[in-house]
Structure 1
Amino acid sequence: MADKEKYNMNQKFADLFFEANMLTRLPRSGYQFLGAGQESVAEHSFMTAFICFTMAKMEPKVDGGKIVSMALVHDFAEARTGDLNYVQKQYVTAREDLALSRMAEGFPLGESIVALVNEFNQGETREAMLARDADQLSFILELKKLQDIGAKTPDKWLPHVLERLKTDTGRTLAHALLSSNWDDWWLKNYSE
């Protein structure tokens, strides 16, 4: 690879990093309807990826690297399109395919991101089904935390989100989340 090509490829990596960094400052817009809570797209993607990491251990036949990678990039287009909530989607259509194709132009890594996002969106492979459930479990985790600290609106949202789960693994983890309190983990060995 010539020095100029290497420089251009390195610049594409830098651009990709700055684009991904936009997700750390982009708030998830659905929290407006909850009246409580907040989360960036990057925070959500991290939690989704971590849940996928766990799911891959629970289901060792799935491609663990693929499911975690899929979760990490599933909302990547939102760096360009923004995060549209359910009301906004009634009036505005995000051109996610265009956003992803422009990000991927002339960049081999971009093609793999596009492929992962497309597989996630199609939801047909086992990895995609689990990653989509992890996406919902990340939201369930936030709703449960808000519920535990006294917010009332999660009571309205949780039944709808639970209906979106498609795998037994997802439903099992949702049950575990809903059977716990958000602060149980650190109170178990509490002492002064």
Structure 2
Amino acid sequence: MSAMTAPAAERTLPFEIAIQVEADDWTGAGMPDLDALAARAASATTAIVALETVPGSEVSLLFCNDATIRDLNNRFRGKDKATNVLSFPGDEPSEGPMGPLIGDIALAFETICRESSELGIPFDDHLTHLIVHGLLHLFGYDHIFDEDAAVMEPLETRILATLGIADPYASATFAMDQ
């Protein structure tokens, strides 16, 4: 999969974003507008990664808690622990456009809060990074092997830079759960 910048006229999202908020913490005082933050992250991602989709395509975001993401991580990855983000690709990839179900992304409030505090970065920036990270997984990118990470991580950094967010991989303390 190659990354390229889409012309400005084509920067409308090639998919809808469906948001489900399962944990009340996501709607508390001081929390970001999740619709706006997700749209901003998706727009920046698709401005760099050209993505062809079928009409009516969708990405769903589940804003949950650690208990829910731990259950998902255990059921689908065999890891009985909470994590910050999980991505579940939808329809089987083909040679043509993606969709209509591009996939689902789950984000865990407590883990993201803790990590942003430990890393000393704004919560909104960390959440944006994790949405971009999740989207790239749905688009076929990975970081399990070093050669894949060498493609995905600089791409994330480039996307985040367009949003004014610092390189999350510049810190030796940050590593995505594999």
Normalised by the length of structure 2, the TM-score is 0.32
Normalised by the length of structure 1, the TM-score is 0.30
Query: Highest CA radius of gyration, 1 or 2?
Result: 1
